[in-house]
Amino acid sequence: MLYGFVEQCLRDDVSLVAVVGPGCARVEDIIDEIVVSDGSDAKRFLCTTSHPDEPFEDVLNMAKAWEPEHGQAVEEVRL
């Protein structure tokens, strides 16, 4: 499930995946491993952050401010 989500993010040119909640640092590491894959494709990139002790609303506000010039909507995805 996570693999498919990350691959879709790469296809959709997502610039940030912010992970919130218990265990989020490990999830961020797994996402990074999926993105890097075997390291042969430098075009595979997205920024990840983890926020184990931050309120969801604070992380949401950070994500909304991430790249306002691109006009990308922030989407909440629960896995």
State the Cα–Cα distance between residues 47 and 15, nearest whole angstrom. 6
Q: Is residue 25 part of a domain?
A: yes
* Residues 47 and 18: beta-carbon distance below 8 Å: no
pLDDT (tens digit, 9 = 90+) per residue, 20-79? 999 999 999 999 999 998 889 989 999 999 999 999 999 999 998 887 766 667 888 887
Residue 59 inside a domain? The answer is yes
- Rg of the chain taking only CA atoms, in angstroms: 13
Residue 47's beta-bridge partner residues? 16
d(C-alpha 9, C-alpha 6), whole Å: 5
The token duo for 1 is 């499930």
- Which pLDDT score is estimated for 75? 85
* Total number of domains constituting the chain: 1
- State the pLDDT at residue 16: 94
pLDDT for 27 equals 96
- Which residues form the domain of 58? 15-44+51-67
> Does residue 3 lie within any of the structural domains?
no
Residue 79 lies in a domain: no
Q: Is 62 domain-assigned?
A: yes
pTM: 0.87
